[in-house]
Structure 1
Amino acid sequence: MTEILIRNAEKKDLPAIQRLLSTYFLDMEELEPEDFVLAEKEGKVIGCAALIRDTSNENTFLELHSIAVHPNLRGKGIGTRLMEYLINTIDSPEMPGAQVCELYVRTTAPGFFEKLGFITMQDAEKLLIWEDCRKCEHFEKCAQHAMKYFRVS
């Protein structure tokens, strides 16, 4: 079996990230290629996920974003490896002040994140955290589940 490499993305990976995200009608919004980590097999990008870091407040706000695995390779642990890699970066020296943090995700696949230790948030909590949810006309029938992962390092 061929080894799967998890690595940080670079600018040159932008076309591969965009191709994979477009499979699921996802876009990069305000993300840069360097915000992503990639799963690579035989030199081809087969999965990606981004970690948004906002350190403008006293607490570090972290959100998992734009998670995608090639449709033919779903269910093989690639998404789990990407998430574990990102969760482990919270403890890295590049993340000062992240010893106590909450990691957030909005997802249509809550079962996947529950297996990783995430818990579902109430709608009131969701409205406090995401301004775009407050403004969304679809909030009452939103397909996205807001979830959080609390970590004390």
Structure 2
Amino acid sequence: MTDTPEPAIRRAAEADLPAIVAMLADDPLGATRESPEDLTPYLAAFKRLAEDPNQHLVVAVRAERVVGTLQLTIVPGLSRKGSTRSIIEGVRVHADERGSGLGTRFVEWAIEKSRAESCEIVQLTSDATRTDAHRFYERLGFAASHVGFKLQL
């Protein structure tokens, strides 16, 4: 944690990818599935995200250093009377910033952006092993409501 001014939240740029991927890899789960030494697949994914108006990949920057990241996806739908929902994914805060309130600020940003996009529901998933994250999301008003399933392709 630091005494410098609040970090600015802005759209991610391609130059932010090394810092983003490093944060994605900086935990026990990420360490097994991310490859910070080869940014090639991340560059291709970044280009797809940048071209899609329903994707909002953002970073938090403090003192010209990327200290957090989050992806917000807007999903138009037919269910729930044609409501639009948003999905929060890939929330990461640099180890030096944990406990600073940045995670809360990120999620609050995502909720406000979702409102601005006329979303009626904000949802997210969290790995079953991330019990600290579950408490964090519940503290912000999220409720565990579904059982999730994945099929690895």
TM-score (norm 1): 0.69
Alignment partner of 1:120: what SS? Answer: coil
RMSD over aligned Cα, in angstroms? 2.4
In 1, Cα distance between the equivalents of 2:71 and 2:136? Answer: 16
Paired residue for 1:89? 113
Matches within 5 A, 1:30-69: 32=49, 35-57=56-78, 58-69=82-93
Structure 2 residues without counterparts, runs of 5 or longer: 35-41
Higher share in strand: 1
Pairing partner for 2:124 from 102, 105, 126: 105
- The alignment covers a number of residue pairs equal to 123
* CA–CA separation in structure 2 for the residues paired with 1:23 and 1:16: 11
In 1, are the aligned partners of 2:60 and 2:67 still within 8 Å (CA)? yes
Contact 1:37 1:82 (C-alpha < 8 Å) held by counterparts: no
C-alpha contact (below 8 Å) 2:74/2:114 kept by paired residues? no
Matched, 1:16 2:19: yes
Residue by residue over 1:66-107, the C-alpha shift from the partner in whole angstroms, topping out at 9 and shown as x without a partner, is 010111221110111111111111122xx2x42xx1111111
Please show how residues 129-140 of structure 1 align to structure 2 within 5 Å.
133=149, 135=151
> Going by fraction, where is helix more abundant, 1 or 2?
2
Counterpart of 1:11, as a letter, is: E
Percent identity over paired residues: 26
Query: By how many angstroms is 1:62 displaced?
Result: 1.2
| Residue identity matched to 1:55 | P
Q: Give the structure-2-normalised TM-score.
A: 0.69
- Give ranges in structure 1 of 5+ residues lacking alignment: 127-132, 137-153
CA contact (8 A) 2:70 2:88 kept: yes
